[in-house]
Structure 1
Amino acid sequence: MSKDWDPHKSVPPPVHRVERKEPLPWQTPKAAEDDPEALERVQALIASPGYRQADRDVEFLNEEDTRGVRLQIDYLKPELLLKKHGIEHTIVVFGSTRLHQPEAARRKVAALEEASAGSPENEDLQCRLQVAKAIESKSRYYEEARRLGRLVAECGEGPEDSRVTMVTGGGPGIMEAANRGAFDVGAKSVGLNITLPHEQFPNPYITPDLCFRFHYFAMRKLHFLKRAKALVAFPGGYGTLDELFETLTLVQTRTIAPLPIVLVGESFWRQAVNIDFLVAEGVIDEEDRELFWYAETAEEIWDGIRHWHRASGSPLPNNN
């Protein structure tokens, strides 16, 4: 290196990341003097669907041939955010969207009682009243799910410890209650919503960064079970039954590693699903009874899950 070499004089300063002193040729359209119609044609090109950047072209992304790409990003967005928030294990809660908090259930019954008293011959009102009373009798499970949400949130080293996190389907009713329990103690919780033909709203107790909306049920189901350390099924309808039986089948066939499956409300579940009948008919084995158990309270649910994991040799954090 020459002793006269001076970097201050020989090395040019860094150029601006975007700006230039002189524009490049393609930064301005063809001059009107050379072709009066050129600008109009260029504007038509820019407005053409083919010119849209692929990742910003919604019509293109919704085509049949781009389904594979949609599946990938439907999976990847929640995956990256769950990792970012340090979520390693989840407790999955399902249950009816119709099981609201007791006060709301009582208001519904009172309103229908008043309406039916004024129209005692109205069979539809009488039927709706009986259904409302059945819902009210099960509304106590809202409070159990809420307490369970608090218990799960306290598993670890405080609200900021998200290694074990509550996950629900993101809707109202039992799922709202579980998310709300975590919210009560300032902890994070996850809601996995799905795009449906009619308008819907996520419950207001989900952590904003962890409130997802899936296009594909398959990707939603995958995320429900990928980190699951337990499935807790409160009384519910088709959606709850769907997730419950899918999980039971995956564990029965050992397609996934066994995990605790808790059915909350024994009297409800024994009528909704006659396991004794299935065993007696020979369509499931006696040992398949051991894939789940019943519980009634949040404390029973959580103590049972913790005991199961200790017995399996994989205790949850702070679960010695």
Structure 2
Amino acid sequence: MSDEIPRNRDGWDPFPSSDQDRREAAAKSRGTSQSRSPTYRLAFDDPDFLTREETRGVRLQLELMKPEIAFLEAGILSTVVLFGGARIPAPGQAAWAARNETQKANLEAHSAFYDEARRFAQIASNHSAASSGSKEFVIVTGGGPGVMEAGNRGAADVGAPSIALNVTLPHEQEPNHYATPGLCFNFHYFAVRKMHFLLRAKAMAIFPGGFGTMDELFEALTLIQTRRMQKIPVLLFGKAFWNKVIDFEALAEEGTIAPDDLKLITFVETADEGWQSIRDFYGF
């Protein structure tokens, strides 16, 4: 039997693969005006066609599918989502994003959260490796610098895999060097990226951050509040920061959220305290 006969992963497949057709079409092109025409390209091998406005639905599906297949192949069952500011520097580093002396002082003071995020990721990743062979409670971040880097770095410190879900932005989103390369993804659509943050989430560890961090926090809280998502631990690191920038109690007092909605949030200060909250929630 010829080795060139294509087979799919489930067994016999008598048809040529799309990749085989793509390669053969490129090799057989004779440079005629007909073969050079964009209309002659195989639809799935035509970047101009795939980036048209009319094919947005296909691109949304592909961005949902590509990471999902990778997670299934890697056997990843659940994650711990780690959010936080891209602008928070590692201890001892300058606050590169500061626009004035006040921001510089605050951001450099927040570098303590970098250490706590890194330590938290180490603890979670050690538990993941020991309890499930790094299949459960896998750290996932936005893949950028700051607190996101700290999360991927903490996993790398203990030799564990971690996920990075990057997004195409003009700044701040170059993948950090600590994420596992085979679990590092780049998204065009914020909405699909946010779906992947939550599809396997068993806990969220949220450190001080800006608009992006707030967006991700409130979307998750909304889904849990409305019971569109299972209740999971939502840990806010740094109570003083959060109480300064968001008055959760005022929302309850104004009646725009229920008093019990405040119980969806757990304030913690340290990595050990945060991980203990997760242990208490799941009983391990």
TM-score normalised by length of structure 1: 0.77
Inter-CA distance 200–91: structure 2 relative to 1 (3 Å threshold):
closer
User: Is the 2:75–2:135 Cα contact (8 Å) retained in structure 1?
Assistant: yes
User: Is the 1:97–1:173 Cα contact (8 Å) retained in structure 2?
Assistant: yes
CA distance in 1, matches of 2:3, 2:83: 55
Q: Deviations over 1:264-289 (max 9, x none)?
A: 00000001110111111111111011
Which of 38, 50, 57 is matched with 1:49 structurally?
38
Aligned match of 2:8:
none
Q: Which has the larger radius of gyration?
A: 1
User: Is the 1:263–1:295 Cα contact (8 Å) retained in structure 2?
Assistant: yes
Q: Compute the RMSD of aligned alpha carbons.
A: 2.3
Work out whether 1:233 is the aligned partner of 2:206: yes
Shift of 1:164: 2.2
CA distance in 2, matches of 1:283, 1:57: 49
Work out whether 1:305 is the aligned partner of 2:278: yes
Aligned match of 1:181:
154
Work out whether 1:63 is the aligned partner of 2:52: yes
User: Is the 2:86–2:172 Cα contact (8 Å) retained in structure 1?
Assistant: no
Which of 245, 254, 274 is matched with 1:272 structurally?
245
Q: Give the gaps of 5 or more residues in structure 1.
A: 1-13, 19-26, 28-38, 113-126, 311-318
- AA at the equivalent of 2:147: I
Q: Deviations over 1:250-305 (max 9, x none)?
A: 11111111111011000000011101111111111110110011000000011101
**Alignment partner of 2:164: what SS?**
strand
**Alignment partner of 1:235: what SS?**
coil
CA distance in 1, matches of 2:2, 2:136: 45
Aligned match of 2:256:
283
Inter-CA distance 105–274: structure 2 relative to 1 (3 Å threshold):
same
Shift of 1:17: 4.2
- AA at the equivalent of 2:44: D
User: Is the 2:143–2:173 Cα contact (8 Å) retained in structure 1?
Assistant: no
User: Is the 1:86–1:163 Cα contact (8 Å) retained in structure 2?
Assistant: no
Q: How many residues align?
A: 261
Alignment of 1:2-151 (within 5 A): 17=4, 43-105=32-94, 128-151=100-123
Work out whether 1:254 is the aligned partner of 2:227: yes
- AA at the equivalent of 2:236: L
**Alignment partner of 1:267: what SS?**
helix
- AA at the equivalent of 2:239: E
CA distance in 1, matches of 2:276, 2:33: 66
CA distance in 1, matches of 2:281, 2:53: 45
Inter-CA distance 190–157: structure 2 relative to 1 (3 Å threshold):
closer
User: Is the 1:160–1:187 Cα contact (8 Å) retained in structure 2?
Assistant: no
- AA at the equivalent of 1:95: G
Alignment of 1:170-249 (within 5 A): 170-197=143-170, 200-249=173-222
Aligned match of 2:21:
none
CA distance in 2, matches of 1:199, 1:167: 17
Q: Deviations over 1:179-210 (max 9, x none)?
A: 10000011000000112245841011000000
Shift of 1:160: 4.6
Inter-CA distance 177–15: structure 2 relative to 1 (3 Å threshold):
closer
Q: Sequence identity, in percent?
A: 46
CA distance in 1, matches of 2:173, 2:275: 30
**Alignment partner of 1:155: what SS?**
helix
Q: Give the gaps of 5 or more residues in structure 2.
A: 6-23
- AA at the equivalent of 1:59: D
CA distance in 2, matches of 1:15, 1:224: 44
CA distance in 2, matches of 1:270, 1:289: 12
CA distance in 1, matches of 2:2, 2:145: 55
Shift of 1:68: 1.3
**Alignment partner of 2:85: what SS?**
coil
Shift of 1:157: 4.1
